[in-house]
A and B are shown apart, each in its own frame.
Chain A
């Protein structure tokens, strides 16, 4: 398959089941909503060492938020419910409770209910109070800027993590430009986040290492500087490879995000040095979700 001169590999991205949740952060203005949200989703690029993968899904207008203030929605994913609950609580306590004017609300009505601010209330040292509106319990915790308000619980659902594709280009600036175009398009897709810095990861990994203590190491088959000394996947003209990883609430959401991302990268085309689109997988043996590039680019998502 070739789109605008870009070759699409006949391969698939392999993804795993995760647990996901959504939190709505509001504040006096968007600047402070972002401050809280960026802190809360900081150091959350990969479950390998961060515990969770998290990112800002989108901005919310005052009409879309529970308390009528500007806000952002955050998606957070983990490999299991216990880790997700622990990370959510820790990050709420250190990043939202601490942030001036910020408040937190549930972003998922369905799913299992997990603690959002339920235990943070104890920071109030007995001065905390709760109110129930529309069947939902909210906690008011006195803090130095006034009151910290949080919903007691949010929803947790079964989600999908690890959808991905690789952009192979003739130069590093060209690969990055294609990634930026892809991320800009993918940010408009609901229910997904791209958890790496700016949505892009350059250190794609393979399973295992020559060092016993490491479970993953650099994906040498896609490293352009190793073309001559390893079993490379790269043709001579490829000088830079970058990956976009997607976590979504459903496989369908990841399909849509991958489609718009790949389409945006291909729009730059071979004329701008974009030569190939590939994907990372483990031979189809590990993950239950397979995102086949040809199906995504030729199917209903077009």
Chain B
């Protein structure tokens, strides 16, 4: 069996909701049935075969080639299997991902991993704003799973994040971990202004000293035993974070304007 491959013929005029192209949604379907699926795109509903050349037959292993920024909701609600994407994609990548793996070789737009509850999202590129955050009207962002970003993240990464692990190997923009409810965010590069603004609980792990606002408080330097347990859990992940082997950190607590049980740990 070979990977079920969707190769975009030409860049679509409108944004396309490709949430229907997940391993569990396509399981057991023939190529003809898959070709006939209609994908919402503005006022239209173009068939899959009008947009993509389709080849392969293993629906558990989906490959999307020639992707563009107009493809939204890749891997929406996915519960199993793997999606590999080549090219840049639009917003809501891995939206409400439950289980399985999504690997993107390119950049993605806003709200990646929003509502994600499990599985792995691995982006070999940059992500837009509101990574792992709650969409407008939702009260909780990412609820579980692992997100690895090899590039940079935009603003508000981890806004209202509830649980799970986000590892950013590059830089994160302003308001990273804002209103964070719980979970772990690691940033190897730099972070922008108002880090952990309104953060309630959770851990932000930093390689570089951040700019701190008034309601984040210094709790001193510590060797924290739980970090060795955390880094051990990183060992098998495909990320630079897997190589970390230090547990001496400067601990900042906050945001004390909102419960103050969150922590920012900066490697010494």
Contact = CB atoms under 8 A, between A and B. Distances in A.
B55 interface: no
Contact of B203 (A69, A131, A149): A131
A103 B225 contact: yes
B225 A133 contact: no
Given A127-B261, A131-B203, A132-B163, A146 B229 contact: no
A66 B229 CA distance: 7
B225 A146 contact: yes
B87 to A, nearest CB: 33
B233 A134 contact: yes
B222 interface: yes
Contacts of B203: 131
B161 to A, nearest CB: 13
Contacts of A237: none
Nearest to B224: A147
B163 A133 contact: no
B201 interface: yes
Interface string B206-248: 0000000000000000111110111011000000000000000
A90 interface: no
Interface residues of B, number: 16
Among A127, A132, A149, residue most surrounded by chain B Cβ atoms (within 10 Å) = A132
A87 B2 CA distance: 56
Interface residues of A, number: 17
A61 interface: no
Nearest to B245: A68
A66 B225 CA distance: 11
Contacts of B223: 146
Interface in A131-149: 131-134, 138, 140, 146-147, 149
A266 to B, nearest CB: 45
Contact of A149 (B222, B226, B261): B226
A109 interface: no
Most buried by B among A103, A133, A134: A133
A67 B225 contact: yes
B261 A129 contact: yes
Given A146-B222, A146-B224, A147-B224, A129 B201 contact: yes
B117 to A, nearest CB: 13
A137 to B, nearest CB: 11
Contact of B226 (A101, A134, A138): A138
Contacts of A149: 225-226, 229
Give chain A's interface secondary structure class. strand
B230 A131 contact: yes
A68 B235 CA distance: 13
A14 B163 CA distance: 50
A147 B261 contact: no
A2 B31 CA distance: 77
Contacts of A103: 225
B226 A147 contact: yes
B216 to A, nearest CB: 16
Contacts of A132: 163
A204 to B, nearest CB: 44
Contacts of B201: 129
Interface string B142-169: 0000000000000000000001000000
Contacts of A69: 225, 228
Contacts of A67: 225-226, 228-229, 232
Nearest to B202: A129
A36 to B, nearest CB: 14
Contacts of B230: 131, 133
Given A68-B232, A131-B184, A131-B230, A147 B225 contact: yes
Contacts of B163: 132
A267 B225 CA distance: 46
Interface in A72-119: 101, 103
A133 B229 contact: yes
Contacts of B229: 66-67, 131, 133, 138, 149
A261 B143 CA distance: 53
A21 to B, nearest CB: 21
Contacts of A147: 224-226
Interface in A11-69: 66-69
Nearest to A146: B222
10 contacts: A67-B225, A67-B228, A67-B229, A67-B232, A103-B225, A129-B201, A129-B261, A146-B225, A147-B225, A147-B226
Given A146-B225, A147-B224, 19 more contacts: A66-B232, A67-B225, A67-B226, A68-B228, A68-B232, A69-B228, A101-B225, A127-B261, A129-B201, A131-B203, A131-B230, A133-B230, A140-B226, A146-B222, A146-B223, A146-B224, A147-B225, A149-B225, A149-B229
> 10 closest Cβ contacts across the A-B interface?
A133-B233, A67-B229, A68-B228, A67-B228, A149-B226, A134-B233, A149-B225, A140-B226, A133-B229, A133-B230
